[in-house]
Amino acid sequence: MENFWKKLNKPILALAPMAGYTTSSFRQICKYHGADVVYSELASATALNFEGKKTLKLLQFEKSESPYVVQLFGNDPKYFCNAVKFVSEKIKPDGIDINMGCPAKKVFSNGSGAALMKEVEKVREIIKETLKGTKLPVSIKIRAKVENVTAYKFVKKINDLPISAIMIHGRSLKQGFTGEINYEQIRKVKELVHIPVLANGGINSPKDAKRMLQRTGADGLGIARGSLTKPWLFSQIKEYLEKGEYQEFELEQIKKSAIHHAKMSYKSKGKHGIVEMRKYLLWYFRGFENAKEIRKGLVKVESVGDIEMILGNI
Ligand SMILES: Cc1cc2nc3c(=O)[nH]c(=O)nc-3n(C[C@H](O)[C@H](O)[C@H](O)COP(=O)(O)O)c2cc1C
């Protein structure tokens, strides 16, 4: 089985995982706009051992999304081997990622997500069980710090295991989703390991991307919320890194992208895809003049035609 991580050009631009948002159609639109690798929605390793069907549905993807990484969470090593076996056979993604950074109460209080960074022995077992169940490359996503455990301290203790990539959200568990990025922790991990390190957190513009790469020396970037307002951020970053400047997206291009996204969402999920599209449309047109008026229409759309009509009036 090929390790796709080794074949990607650097810097690698990844759509970071976002539960409830990194759906197939959103991954497709980000891929269309230049993302090099995309992550799935969050799936439970435990659930995949018991009620696999629903979770499998959540993880379906289109060939155009590839390379596509499925992210799993859990806290019990014994469920990981079967879960990845199942996902590898039924979904056939390009990689598996293990979530070690989620602060959500539902995940954290159960000993999964960011709580794992405090339990390195358990993490070693989880990684070993995961590797037993699949030949796909296995990556991890961690935080800069969880309580007194830094990313560097943590990775040092698992660095002998054959993982293929690490994404680091450069904020501590305590910081949650806001505040300064700890560039130093990302840089220290980058200097320690010989696999791609993706720096994540606060990248909302091509300039943020360049700063992150310069300060961390990372091999790539993970972009989450920045992609919700601008899925085209990936290609703008590439343009900026290459030429030192980039084109702003014009209103007509934004509308075109939103409609393209809506069509893919409809194709993938029918009417439900349009309902799902409403939340993305709100992100797309955030901060626009008359945003309140536009919003009122967008939260009610029921078809691609409705969307075209409302956007036509902006
Ligand atoms: C709505 C939402 C859902 C998220 N879900 C996940 C998830 O399922 N797995 C994960 O590892 N991180 C998840 N994250 C964290 C992001 O991947 C990322 O680490 C964080 O948002 C910081 O990046 P940003 O500043 O580019 O948004 C989520 C973030 C948001 C905003």
Q: Is the same domain home to 152 and 273?
A: no
Residue nearest to atom 30 of ligand 1 (CA): 18
Q: Is the same domain home to 140 and 206?
A: yes
Q: Is the same domain home to 20 and 100?
A: yes
Mutation pick for ligand 1 pocket among 172, 173, 177, 178 (CB with most ligand atoms within 8 Å)? 177
Q: Is the same domain home to 158 and 289?
A: no
Q: Measure 306 CA to ligand 1 centroid, in angstroms.
A: 30
Tell which of 243, 263, 285 closes a domain.
243
User: Do residues 179 and 169 make contact, with C-beta atoms less than 8 angstroms apart?
Assistant: no
Question: What CATH number does residue 138 fall under?
Answer: 3.20.20.70
Q: Which neighbouring-strand residues pair with 280?
A: none
Q: Rounded to whole angstroms, how far apart are CA atoms 75 and 72? A: 10
Q: Is the same domain home to 31 and 169?
A: yes
Q: Residue 83: how many CB atoms within 10 A of its CB?
A: 27
Q: Which residue range forms the structural domain that includes residue 306?
A: 251-312
Index of the ligand 1 atom closest to the CA of residue 99 = 11
Residue nearest to atom 9 of ligand 1 (CA): 17
* Residue that the structure tokens 């409609």 belong to: 259
Q: Measure 19 CA to ligand 1 centroid, in angstroms.
A: 7
Q: Is the same domain home to 217 and 257?
A: no
Residues with CB under 6 Å of ligand 1 are: 16-21, 42, 71, 99, 101-102, 141, 169, 177, 200-203, 223-226
Q: Is the same domain home to 302 and 180?
A: no
Output the tens digit of pLDDT for each of the chain's 314 residues.
Answer: 689 999 999 999 999 999 999 999 999 999 999 999 999 999 999 999 997 889 999 999 999 999 999 999 999 999 999 999 999 999 999 999 999 999 999 899 899 999 999 999 999 999 999 999 999 999 999 999 999 999 999 999 999 999 999 999 999 999 999 999 999 999 999 999 999 999 999 999 999 999 999 999 999 999 999 999 999 999 999 999 999 999 999 999 999 999 999 999 999 999 999 999 999 999 999 888 788 888 899 999 999 999 999 999 88
Q: Which residues are catalytic?
A: 102
Q: What is the pLDDT of residues 281-300, one digit of tens each?
A: 999 998 887 888 888 999 99
Domain count within the chain = 2
Q: Measure 95 CA to ligand 1 centroid, in angstroms.
A: 18
And the tokens for 46? 């435990």
Residue nearest to atom 3 of ligand 1 (CA): 18
Tell which of 209, 227, 243 closes a domain.
243
Q: Is the same domain home to 109 and 204?
A: yes
Q: Rounded to whole angstroms, how far apart are CA atoms 38 and 24? A: 10
Q: Measure 169 CA to ligand 1 centroid, in angstroms.
A: 8
Index of the ligand 1 atom closest to the CA of residue 204 = 26
Q: Is the same domain home to 264 and 118?
A: no
Q: Where are the beta strands (DSSP E) in the chain?
A: 12-15, 37-44, 68-73, 95-100, 138-146, 149-150, 165-172, 197-200, 220-223
Tell which of 243, 264, 280 closes a domain.
243
User: In sequence order, what are the residues at sequence separation of 6 or more whose Cβ sits closer than 8 angstroms to the Cβ of residue 23?
Assistant: 41, 265, 268, 276
Question: What CATH number does residue 278 fall under?
Answer: 1.10.1200
- Omega of the bond prior to 93 within 30 degrees of 0, cis? no
Q: What is the pLDDT of residues 136-186, one digit of tens each?
A: 999 999 999 999 999 999 999 999 999 999 999 999 999 999 999 999 999
Q: Is the same domain home to 273 and 195?
A: no
Residue nearest to atom 26 of ligand 1 (CA): 224
Q: Is the same domain home to 182 and 297?
A: no
Index of the ligand 1 atom closest to the CA of residue 203 = 26
Q: Measure 16 CA to ligand 1 centroid, in angstroms.
A: 7
Helices and strands (DSSP H and E) totals, the chain = 15, 9
Q: Residue 230: how many CB atoms within 10 A of its CB?
A: 22
253: amino acid identity, one letter: Q
Q: Is the same domain home to 144 and 45?
A: yes
Residue nearest to atom 6 of ligand 1 (CA): 18
